[in-house]
Structure 1
Amino acid sequence: MAGTVQAQTKIKTKSSGVGKQKVVVSTMGQSGKGIALANLDKSVPPCDDFYRYASGTWLKNNPIPAAESSWGAGSVLAKSNRAISLRILNQAAANRTAKPGSNAQKVGDFYASAMDSAAIEAAGLKYLQPHLDKIEAVQDMAGMQRLLADPKSHLGNAWYSFGVIQDLKQNDVYMAFFSQSGLGLPDRDYYLKEDGRSKAIRAAYQTYLTNTFKMLGDSPATAEKNAATVQRLETRLAQASRTRVAMRDIPALYNKRTVAQLTAEYPNLNFSQQLKMDGLSAAQDLVIGQPEFAKELNTMLGSEPLADQKTYLRWHLVTSATSALPKAYVDEAFRFSQTLSGAKQQLPRTRRALAATDGALGEAFGQLYVDEAFPPAAKARAKALVENLRAAYAERIQATEWMSTPTKAAALKKLNAFVVKIGYPDKWKDYSTLTVSRESYLNNMFAANEFANQENLNKYGKPVDRTEWTMTPPTVNAYYNPLLNEIVFPAGILQPPFFDAQADDAVNYGGIGSVIGHEMTHGFDDQGRQFDASGNLRDWWTKEDGEKFMAKADVVGKQFDAFSPLDSVHVNGKLTMGENLADLGGLTIAYAAFMKTPQAKAGKSIDGFTPEQRFFLAYGQIWRRNQRPESLRQQVQTDPHSPSQYRTIGPLQNMPEFHKAFNCKEGDKMVRSATARAKIW
């Protein structure tokens, strides 16, 4: 089906002479600023469990709110950012005099329609029915192919993903890209594993399916039969899908086929029609992310009963629209989600409406957010931090013993070429072709989906837009994009506890500095290192250096394989490899950069802690997080990030600088033996 697709990778200002550049940002602050002393649990020795030492009291005193699956430092910051965003949205919704077609009108009307529960209940399935009728009207394979190729079909996560991304090997142009998709559960393994928890989740999913089909008007027997049909088809798709670890093999995703080859190999997918209806008739070829998946889907479309295929599409249409349907549908979806997340209550409507508006019009109200929460001075300070870390990274690369001179030169070229984006886009998104009204939240949702999809498809054949962002300004996150070789830090994360203008350098380098270093290191992790300074998928390492790097990375992988947050649940070192390498590298580089600051050189203690100790405490405190067991299990199975306690402990166990700062000795739990330590940069 037509739909925006992201490349299956973290696809999450050029400075010359960076090796010589010494940019120092000084934010010497008040005593105690930035380090929450009340969070410490001094009954736990720092060399025994630094995660508990840094945040143990906070963990005890901050239970998870009923509507959350976890709660941590990022959650608290996101809550603060939401307060600003909701104030902006409520003002926009109350403004009935905004100019028609303006961003203010669209933001206000979208949010107002999402909050109008009475109108949603009164509408029932009125606005969904035309889309259900389109599915019901399909009578044959040709009709099914037309429906799947229609960019306005609104079939949610059905069958596959198709869209436009930068060409992985020629990133100054766009390519059409097909990828596996079509599952209702979070991952293929949920369908295939035979352990008790997986079976319980599938049983809960069957109940969710059955009850939803009943609400659509099916008899109990028919609803149960249709639910089984959806699970059967999704299980076939799961069996053909690559694992999350396999999906990290970027070169294996690049399988270019001509349209003639596609027609011969996958006639039932009718890619020629897909390209034509999406306005991509000029495309001479297409990249298939997973040929084996495309082959199985081609077989399924030719062999599965048409009625079963329509049942499957019906389900995916409804689940894509659930948030804009009557309360009974939303409640049913939440009941199932509890099985996965463990949340006790549903998020309030304001939270859900905010998230939807952020997804649809994030850069429209994001402009108002940065006006209030992110002054130009904050952007300048963050930029200075980035450049200091870039200088430190250059020195570490030059000093690396295991890397040859040619590979070092290429690595420095890539580092110097990093584009840095901070706070918000220099060019805001144009929403002029998106129509929004207060009549129907569902229609607004579908209009926003069509807008995003068309915006994606329109890129084909045009110069690559290097100004766009994939996160909105209030987002508490950051990312590295290997195809643009850029590191991006939204305004939302450039707030306490990650970044505090009133705090000392140790706090900012241990907090946002480690995040900056983390994103930089993604350019040199096991995936990012496969892209060159221009952002093209190209091996710029010597064979020997590549082998040395992977041997060092494997040490990190084995370390994380051994971490077990719950009984019988182990972190997957291969799935989390990129993030673990980025955490280790990011902390290493941030510390090296911090040691250049006046505070580090002066060595003066604050609140009884040396500058080095405050640096590591700041790092430990940004990862504090309580998490429900259900959520933790899902994270370990599906998330490339390790659980928070291991993001703290894992890197520190390898760092002699940490051991020295807290006088840790051989044999302490926070000290790995010299032969078992991981060191890359």
Structure 2
Amino acid sequence: MRKTVLAACLLASAATGAVYAQTATTGATATAPGKPQLGDFGVDLSAMDKAVLPGNDFYNYINGAWMKRTEIPADRASWGGFAILADLSEKRTRQVIEDAAAAPSSNGAMSINDKIGVTYATFMDQAAIEKAGAAPLQPRLAKIAAINSQADLAKAFAEATMHGIDVPVGAGIEQDLKDNTVYAVYMSQGGLGLPDKDYYLKDDPKFAEARTKYVTYIADMMRLAGQPDPQGSAQRIYDLEKQIAQVHWDRAELRQVEKGYNPMQVAQLATAMPGFDWQGMLAAQGLGSQTRVIVGQPSALTGTAKIIVATPLPVWKEYLAFHTISNAAPLLSSPFVNTQFAFYGTTLNGTPQLKDRWKRGVALVNGSLGEAVGQVYVQKYFPPESKAKADELVRNLIAAMDIRLSKLEWMAPETKVKARAKLAAFTPKIGYPNKWRDYSTLQVVKGDVLGNADRVAEFEYRRQLNKIGKPVDRSEWFMTPQTVNAYANPLMNEVVFPAAILQPPFFDPNADPAVNYGAIGAVIGHELSHHFDDQGRKFDPKGNFSDWWTPQDVTRFNALTDKVVAQYGAYEPIPGSHVNGKLTLGENMADLAGINVAYDAYQLSLKGKKAPVIDGYTGDQRFFMGFGQVWQTKAREASIKNQLTTDPHTPGQWRAYVVRNLDPWYGAFSVKPGQTYYLAPQDRIHIW
């Protein structure tokens, strides 16, 4: 729930059901030649195309030469600043893991280092995995084959959910939106193998091609696992998923957090959403004692329940078998790995080459024992001075945001008071957790890669289950320190910046402040503003879901956000495919707020002094250059298509054009009427 609704993550996007699904903001190993030619102030001047006027195309003015000379690595759907930093983090994490593997415990007991090392070494033992073939799947498939009733099916859905397999209905544990001091059980829609309902239903040539190849993929997976009638079952599975897609809520609707809060007594479920053994599923998930649940998408779950009862049990067994196989495929022999990558990596994202095995091993360990790895990572790569400088930046951004809130013309005075109180109650989390996760009860077995993955999923599910009835742990992090990302969590009223993003090109404690404020400052401001955007504004200073704006505030705010929807909806990253202005509204507003607040914070940091000119560039120019280079991104067309359909973030290049709404940008680069991205002063969007 958190990852799809509540945490307005800066870069993270919805998964597509496979570890190879990548968005246009992720990447790793570089093939572009040489290191950046950094100016004296920390911007890669060799990336610029000075033949381009900033007002005609600011992104290519900053990054045009880089775009021309850069080839996307063969194992990536995209490449850019975020990806380069992720590549560095990946290599550093590999070293942490390999060092752990090289120092086994000497007393016979399995230490945390042993668990890290064994998890990695077991995955890297490709010969053993190839020899095992499909055999590790057979116990799982035998359990599915033994399903004989609707009650058995409900239990199978529960078990799949506990093992991280996406099925049409499932339950999870999250803070209660209206009382965030306690945990609640949420139920939500799911169960699609394609990235979004549009892939099943929209009349689009690319989606039609993906549908055809998806049916082939299903058949290939069933055949590899020795399942009967793979071609026939593939079509039946696809047809079933299409029915499920028809009742799903779309992503723009999923963003409306108030629509996803529908408390219901468990005893009412059978009447309200008939056709499925809801109590049996909850009991099998260890939630049988719960009397109340929160239903995320009532109409979708009601529709799914009807589909469940109308679909023959043998088809559901085929469906579960396929999703079990597909979920396990990255940990199986090469035919499974390559078949899955061909669809999720190449067909859906345009990536021509599978990642090296060690990179996939690092991802597996990060997903299994991420905080244990992160604890070592920050000791090695995040010095105290970096944390201190980042803390200072955050303080300055909060101060700048407070000043902006106090001056908002469209917000009622009484609402401003509450907004500033909410900001004052913020908890910024910088670098790493104060309390590390305890993995002592996680069992890791040498040579059992799929079993280890099962035990990790069970460990995490038990950890979540154990939260019920206990105080909310406000120290918990939802990203590891080695993750190049950031997020805002409205329920905790917090913003979180892992150590790995607090590095160049985003942040350098020794760099020119103008560039730091333009880069990481805009990221920090982005996350701060999520607490006041079209969804974050629905949470009060304590982090509870609450309507604390006046009706007039909402009316004036919506009039402004309509302009944001229209401005971004006009962008066409690939021919015939525009940015979905409604889906991306929250992130686009956060970009707009983030850069405005970062600019103010930079001015505050000067303490009344004039910014120096460095390499011929003024402070304002360096600020905007730092921001523009953050969004340096080159992506494959299929990946952009996927992102435009599924991701609440506008593709990177088009995020850079937010500068056209800032008055100082016009003065910094002499942007004139008639230039492509010029906006008349009255057309510039000023929300924050």
TM-score (norm. length: structure 2)? 0.93
For 2:55 and 2:380, how far apart are their aligned partners in 1? 41
Alignment of 1:80-159 (within 5 A): 80-97=88-105, 100-150=109-159, 154=163, 156-159=165-168
Contact 1:7 1:165 in 2 (8 A): no
Residue 244 (structure 1) aligned with residue 251 (structure 2): yes
Structure 2: which amino acid aligns with 1:134?
K
Contact 1:482 1:523 in 2 (8 A): yes
Residue 186 (structure 1) aligned with residue 195 (structure 2): yes
Instruction: Report the counterpart of residue 272 of structure 2 in structure 1.
Output: 265
What is the CA-CA distance between 1:98 and the residue it aligns to? Answer: 5.8
Alignment of 1:503-542 (within 5 A): 503-542=511-550
Residue 311 (structure 1) aligned with residue 318 (structure 2): yes
Instruction: Report the counterpart of residue 12 of structure 2 in structure 1.
Output: none
SS of 1:580's equivalent in the other structure is helix
Structure 2: which amino acid aligns with 1:476?
V
SS of 1:85's equivalent in the other structure is helix
What is the CA-CA distance between 1:493 and the residue it aligns to? Answer: 0.1
SS of 1:523's equivalent in the other structure is helix
Residue 166 (structure 1) aligned with residue 175 (structure 2): yes
SS of 2:634's equivalent in the other structure is strand
Structure 2: which amino acid aligns with 1:249?
Q
Instruction: Report the counterpart of residue 219 of structure 2 in structure 1.
Output: 210
Aligned partner of 1:10 among 7, 14, 18: 7
Deviates more, 1:400-409 or 1:580-589: 400-409
Instruction: Report the counterpart of residue 296 of structure 2 in structure 1.
Output: 289
Contact 1:88 1:368 in 2 (8 A): yes
Residue 198 (structure 1) aligned with residue 211 (structure 2): no
For 1:218 and 1:170, how far apart are their aligned partners in 2? 47
Aligned CA distance change for structure 1 residues 457 and 430 (closer, same or farther; 3 Å): same
Aligned CA distance change for structure 1 residues 5 and 547 (closer, same or farther; 3 Å): closer
CA-to-aligned-CA distance 1:387-414 (integer Å, 9 cap, x gap): 1011111111111112111010011011
Deviates more, 1:469-478 or 1:666-675: 666-675
Residue 607 (structure 1) aligned with residue 615 (structure 2): yes
Structure 2: which amino acid aligns with 1:312?
Y
For 2:106 and 2:206, how far apart are their aligned partners in 1? 51
What is the CA-CA distance between 1:31 and the residue it aligns to? Answer: 6.2
Instruction: Report the counterpart of residue 635 of structure 1 in structure 2.
Output: 643
Structure 1 segments of 4+ aligned residues over 4 angstroms from their partners:
4-7
Instruction: Report the counterpart of residue 23 of structure 1 in structure 2.
Output: none
For 2:519 and 2:329, how far apart are their aligned partners in 1? 38
Deviates more, 1:257-266 or 1:401-410: 257-266
Aligned partner of 1:576 among 584, 604, 608: 584
Structure 1: which amino acid aligns with 2:155?
R
Residue 335 (structure 1) aligned with residue 376 (structure 2): no
Structure 2: which amino acid aligns with 1:603?
A
Aligned CA distance change for structure 1 residues 632 and 141 (closer, same or farther; 3 Å): same
Instruction: Report the counterpart of residue 299 of structure 1 in structure 2.
Output: 306
What is the CA-CA distance between 1:56 and the residue it aligns to? Answer: 1.0
Deviates more, 1:426-435 or 1:293-302: 293-302
Contact 1:563 1:570 in 2 (8 A): yes
Structure 1: which amino acid aligns with 2:478?
T
Aligned CA distance change for structure 1 residues 555 and 9 (closer, same or farther; 3 Å): same
Residue 466 (structure 1) aligned with residue 463 (structure 2): no
Structure 1, gaps ≥5 residues long: 13-29
What is the CA-CA distance between 1:6 and the residue it aligns to? Answer: 4.7
What is the CA-CA distance between 1:452 and the residue it aligns to? Answer: 1.0
Cα RMSD, aligned residues only: 1.6
What is the CA-CA distance between 1:206 and the residue it aligns to? Answer: 1.0
Structure 1: which amino acid aligns with 2:212?
A
For 1:131 and 1:246, how far apart are their aligned partners in 2? 35
Residue 669 (structure 1) aligned with residue 666 (structure 2): no
SS of 1:179's equivalent in the other structure is strand
Instruction: Report the counterpart of residue 21 of structure 2 in structure 1.
Output: none
Aligned CA distance change for structure 1 residues 152 and 113 (closer, same or farther; 3 Å): farther
Contact 1:41 1:56 in 2 (8 A): yes
TM-score (norm. length: structure 1)? 0.94
Contact 2:162 2:457 in 1 (8 A): no
Deviates more, 1:54-63 or 1:406-415: 54-63
Instruction: Report the counterpart of residue 226 of structure 1 in structure 2.
Output: 233
For 1:268 and 1:668, how far apart are their aligned partners in 2? 60
Aligned CA distance change for structure 1 residues 102 and 152 (closer, same or farther; 3 Å): farther
Instruction: Report the counterpart of residue 26 of structure 1 in structure 2.
Output: none
Contact 1:478 1:493 in 2 (8 A): yes
Structure 1: which amino acid aligns with 2:343?
F
For 1:124 and 1:343, how far apart are their aligned partners in 2? 25
Give the % identical residues: 43
Aligned CA distance change for structure 1 residues 298 and 359 (closer, same or farther; 3 Å): same
For 1:641 and 1:84, how far apart are their aligned partners in 2? 28
Residue 430 (structure 1) aligned with residue 438 (structure 2): yes
For 1:519 and 1:209, how far apart are their aligned partners in 2? 39
For 1:680 and 1:184, how far apart are their aligned partners in 2? 38
Aligned CA distance change for structure 1 residues 440 and 279 (closer, same or farther; 3 Å): same
For 1:483 and 1:8, how far apart are their aligned partners in 2? 11
Structure 2: which amino acid aligns with 1:559?
Q
For 2:343 and 2:158, how far apart are their aligned partners in 1? 30
Structure 2, gaps ≥5 residues long: 10-37
What is the CA-CA distance between 1:231 and the residue it aligns to? Answer: 0.3
Aligned partner of 1:324 among 331, 334, 356: 331
For 1:469 and 1:38, how far apart are their aligned partners in 2? 38
Structure 2: which amino acid aligns with 1:321?
A
Deviates more, 1:117-126 or 1:446-455: 117-126
Contact 2:41 2:614 in 1 (8 A): no
Contact 1:5 1:177 in 2 (8 A): no
Deviates more, 1:491-500 or 1:30-39: 30-39
Aligned CA distance change for structure 1 residues 397 and 203 (closer, same or farther; 3 Å): same
What is the CA-CA distance between 1:283 and the residue it aligns to? Answer: 1.8
CA-to-aligned-CA distance 1:171-199 (integer Å, 9 cap, x gap): 11111000000000000110001221111
Instruction: Report the counterpart of residue 285 of structure 2 in structure 1.
Output: 278
Residue 499 (structure 1) aligned with residue 496 (structure 2): no
Aligned partner of 2:599 among 578, 591, 602: 591
Instruction: Report the counterpart of residue 24 of structure 1 in structure 2.
Output: none
Contact 1:33 1:502 in 2 (8 A): no
Alignment of 1:354-369 (within 5 A): 354-369=362-377
For 1:68 and 1:43, how far apart are their aligned partners in 2? 29
What is the CA-CA distance between 1:126 and the residue it aligns to? Answer: 2.5
Aligned CA distance change for structure 1 residues 46 and 260 (closer, same or farther; 3 Å): same
Aligned CA distance change for structure 1 residues 153 and 671 (closer, same or farther; 3 Å): closer
